[in-house]
Amino acid sequence: MSTQAQHSRRGFLKLTAVASGGLCLSYALPTQAQQVTTDIEFSELNAFVQIDPDGRVTIYSANAEMGQGIKTALPMIIAEELGVAWDDVTVKQSPIDSQRFGAIGAGGSTTVPRTWNQMRTMGASAREMLISAGALVMEVPPEELRAQDSKIIHTSGRYRTFAQLASIAAEQDVPDPETLRFKNRENYTLIGSPVSGVDNYSIVTGSALFGIDTRVPDMLYASYSKCPAIGGTVKGANIDELKKLPGVVDAFIVRGNGNPRELLDGVAIVGTSTHAVFKAKQSLRATWDETNASKDSWSDMVTQANEMANAGPSEARFTKGDVESQFADPQNTVHSAFFEYPFIAHFTLEPMNCTAHYKAGVDGGQDTLEVWLPHQIPERSHAPLKSIFGLEPEQVTLNQMRLGGSFGRRVYAEFVCEATEISKRMGQPVKLTWTREDDTRHDFYRVGGFQSVKAALNPDGQLVAFDFHHIGMQNDGKPVMGSGVRDTEFPLQNIDNGRVSDDWFEIGTPAGPWRAPFSNVNAFVTQSFLAEMAHLGGRDYAEFLLEILGERRWFEEGNIRSLNTGRAADVINRVVKEANWGKTMPAGKGQGLSFYFCHAAHVAEVAEVTVSADKAIRVDKVTVAVDVGPIINLSGAMNQVEGSIVDGLSAMKGQKITMEGGRIQQSNLHDYPVLRMPDSPVVEIHFVESEFDPTGLGEPALPPLAPAVANAIFAATGERVRKMPLIDEGYT
């Protein structure tokens, strides 16, 4: 390699952002003041890879771990390219430093595809530096060396361990990324294997990992109460009485900025333990001004949505061909249906929490803040911390904690702002913890909605026209997250005649992403209704789907995040085969098929259900076929698919958020049930490992679940399911 093609070991390497995805592959290298010698504790090969004198290799994971497994999967990618034995690896959570580690955050099933090349580059770069060191020590050409099992091995069999070479490797020039060669997939020894999560032992033994476990010296504990009607303000509260309660240190009213994503008015109670402030919270008597609070009513929305559906859609957002002529053709079979789906809470196992230590500047110095936060994208906290408290990013230290579930909930920073405000008032560190009732009633919900759909079949049973009338939610004239029909997730563009239109409710209830936004409801509507059309046409649903998909092609040529009809057909054919689709089922049992593309993944599912005469339903088995490219951690991938099935079924069976007068009606497990372990189905997973780069798996297995179950219920009972949750349709 020429000198011009190399970069200084003591410089700052920044790879150009990938234009298609904005991926920044950047990492800082040690400065002159950090020169590596054999006397220091470790040898740093890049920001992600350090080697201790005893041969332990530390690999940093930079992105938020919330149960999706990336704290294990991303280091596995580095380790594969590095050639280190996994038993020699220690994984640590990195500091929150996007300048050093690249964009830090997790969400949208994007972390693996966004960092795939970055992680490979980190591993391969460190490997080549070790090979260069091995070539010097063994006095052989680097071409005759390979990295394997934490050794640099010569073709003769001679070797040096990573530990023996680390300090010399750290002095080598960093290879030009353009010269790096990644391993062929057939040579992988780690990627694709099942690896236990790196935090599993700590989780099982109860070691502090999550935000709610944070302990810092001199810490106080806090609760925070907000108006039950979202957006209301505080008029008064029994502050003096609260201060006299056992374990209470202080109580006070907080004035917010009116933004539910930042800081709403509330009453803070601070004490010596979480138990003390939760107990005191039960004695809170506050009066609220609800003049500008939400007035939303779910029952009114249901009534109005039915009226809007009967009146017909407003102006179409998307149209092609001549839908009306197909509906008017007497030879065609025309069918319509009305679907309803509710608001849903995230109901994470770990409620919202944050520990904050606000320090006032001394002698004219700047104020500083340190926070310990379980957040999907922690640096998003900087904007509200600046607008509310005037803190610049350099005044704030963020500590990433493991998240006890998120599913899109922890993308906003209101709990960070609340903890910061309370700590500022108290002048010492404070851990704020929400109660389960707080968490349920002040969520950013998956929005509910309605869809009136209509379609036509020609005499051969082929779909020739479709019409989707979506009735959804908006704030200030803008559709809220998760509300709307995405016509790119299933290729109805292959149908010559189509129309999509929208009507909207203006709502005050905060909404946000919930596992597989948009797709989690659109799949239910689309795949349930298309199954209805196939049945009316006397068609097998698998055959019907494959016919609609048409020829094998990219929806957007070469775009890996676009639907590929060939990959879609492959997973449909695979799940049909593995589930023995179409087999004879006993009375009261049925199979249901669905397919959906979202978050760059192609997933097909077959559900098998049993329905008793009194409408007790049990999902016995779900067979899943998934194409997300190569699997990184087989154990983690299976966990994600299984978790999606359980999460989707839990939501489908009994979960529903309603509001009247802007007040959320549900509060805890007694009125917001979750699936119990005995009710979990058998999940059989088949990965179709295509040759494409890997994509994420946290979300895409959830959307096909509801329509697969709905279609299976029809096969078992002859009754269509067009409303969620199932308890609203009389199922138990």
Q: pLDDT of 222-238, one tens digit each?
A: 999 999 999 999 999 99
Same domain (yes/no): 504, 606 = yes
Query: Would the pLDDT of 15 be above 50?
Result: no
| Residue 307 domain flag | no
- Indicate the DSSP class of residue 611: E
Beta partners for residue 61, in sequence order: 93
71-84 mean pLDDT: 98
Whichever domain contains 426, its CATH number is: 3.30.365.10
> The tokens of 666 are what?
């549900």
Could you give the C-alpha distances from 546 to 461, 468, 550, 555, 556, in angstroms and in order? 13, 21, 6, 15, 19
Q: What is the maximal distance between C-alpha atoms in the chain? A: 87
Same domain (yes/no): 175, 244 = no
Of 162, 158, 26, 141, give the one whose Cα is nearest residue 84: 162
Q: pLDDT of 194-230, one tens digit each?
A: 999 999 999 999 887 899 999 999 999 999 999 999 9
69-93 mean pLDDT: 97
> The tokens of 283 are what?
């004695």
Query: Would the pLDDT of 282 be above 50?
Result: yes
Sign, CA torsion 716/717/721/726: negative
Of 648, 667, 696, give the one whose Cα is nearest residue 440: 667
| Residue 231 domain flag | yes
674-702 mean pLDDT: 95
Task: Quote the pLDDT of residue 693.
Answer: 93
| Residue 615 domain flag | yes
Task: Quote the pLDDT of residue 14.
Answer: 32
Task: Quote the pLDDT of residue 487.
Answer: 59
Task: Quote the pLDDT of residue 364.
Answer: 84
| Cα–Cα dist 32/348, whole Å | 46
Query: Would the pLDDT of 22 be above 50?
Result: no
Same domain (yes/no): 339, 477 = yes
Antiparallel, parallel or unpaired: β 601-611 and 589-598: antiparallel
| Residue 182 domain flag | yes
Sign, CA torsion 130/134/136/142: negative
Task: Quote the pLDDT of residue 17.
Answer: 27
> The tokens of 199 are what?
């935090």
> The tokens of 91 are what?
């994984």
161-177 mean pLDDT: 96
Same domain (yes/no): 599, 481 = yes
DSSP string, 316-334: EEEEES-HHHHHH-TTSEE
Under 8 Å between Cβ of 726 and 671: no
161-180 mean pLDDT: 95
Same domain (yes/no): 258, 128 = no
> The tokens of 26 are what?
């950047």
> The tokens of 479 are what?
């559709």
Same domain (yes/no): 317, 194 = no
Same domain (yes/no): 173, 250 = no
Of 350, 464, 459, 453, give the one whose Cα is nearest residue 407: 350
Task: Quote the pLDDT of residue 42.
Answer: 81
Name the helix (H) or strand (E) containing 600. none
721-725 mean pLDDT: 98
Same domain (yes/no): 338, 235 = no
Q: pLDDT of 607-647, one tens digit each?
A: 999 999 999 999 999 999 999 999 999 999 999 999 999 99
Helices marked H in 353-508: 382-389, 414-426, 436-441
Q: Show which of 176, 205, 234 is a domain's final residue.
A: 205
Q: pLDDT of 330-361, one tens digit each?
A: 999 999 999 999 999 999 999 999 999 999 99
Query: Would the pLDDT of 21 be above 50?
Result: no
| Cα–Cα dist 481/449, whole Å | 12
Q: pLDDT of 362-393, one tens digit each?
A: 988 999 999 999 999 999 999 999 999 999 99
Same domain (yes/no): 182, 227 = no
Task: Quote the pLDDT of residue 553.
Answer: 87
| Cα–Cα dist 557/461, whole Å | 30
Phi, psi of 692 (to 5 degrees): -80, 165
Same domain (yes/no): 87, 130 = yes
Average pLDDT of the chain to the nearest whole number: 92
Residues 6+ apart with CB under 8 A from 99: 26, 28
Core vs surface per residue 31-51: b (16+ CB within 10 A) or e = eeeeebeeeeebbbbbbbbbb
Under 8 Å between Cβ of 597 and 489: yes
What is the total count of domains within the chain?
Answer: 3
Q: How many residues does the chain have?
A: 732
- Indicate the DSSP class of residue 706: H
| Residue 18 domain flag | yes
Question: Helix/strand/coil (H, E, C) string of 501-549?
Answer: EEEEEECCCCECCCCCCCHHHHHHHHHHHHHHHHHHCCCCHHHHHHHHH
Residues 6+ apart with CB under 8 A from 4: none
| Cα–Cα dist 167/164, whole Å | 8
| Residue 439 domain flag | no
Task: Quote the pLDDT of residue 33.
Answer: 28
Count of beta carbons in the 10 Å neighbourhood of residue 546: 17
Of 671, 654, 659, 678, give the one whose Cα is nearest residue 730: 654
| Residue 301 domain flag | no
3-state secondary structure of 416: helix
Q: Show which of 205, 230, 254 is a domain's final residue.
A: 205
79-105 mean pLDDT: 94
Under 8 Å between Cβ of 344 and 509: no
Under 8 Å between Cβ of 464 and 456: yes
pLDDT band for position 489 (cuts 50, 70, 90): low
Q: Show which of 205, 221, 252 is a domain's final residue.
A: 205
**Peptide bond just before 725 cis, omega within 30 deg:** yes
- Answer whether 0.85 is exceeded by the pTM: yes
Print the domain residue range for 265: 211-292+352-433
Under 8 Å between Cβ of 605 and 705: yes
Same domain (yes/no): 489, 422 = no
| Cα–Cα dist 707/723, whole Å | 11
Task: Quote the pLDDT of residue 20.
Answer: 25
Residue % of the chain over a pLDDT of 70: 94
Task: Quote the pLDDT of residue 19.
Answer: 25
566-571 mean pLDDT: 96
Angle in degrees, CA 704, 707, 713, rounded to 5: 135
Query: Would the pLDDT of 104 be above 70?
Result: yes
- The residue whose two tokens read 């476990």 is 213
Query: Would the pLDDT of 458 be above 90?
Result: yes
| Cα–Cα dist 321/591, whole Å | 35
Beta strands in 348-446 (DSSP E): 353-359, 368-373, 396-400, 430-433
- Indicate the DSSP class of residue 106: -
| Helices 565-578 and 541-549: angle between axes, nearest 10 degrees | 170
| Residue 517 domain flag | yes
Same domain (yes/no): 383, 477 = no
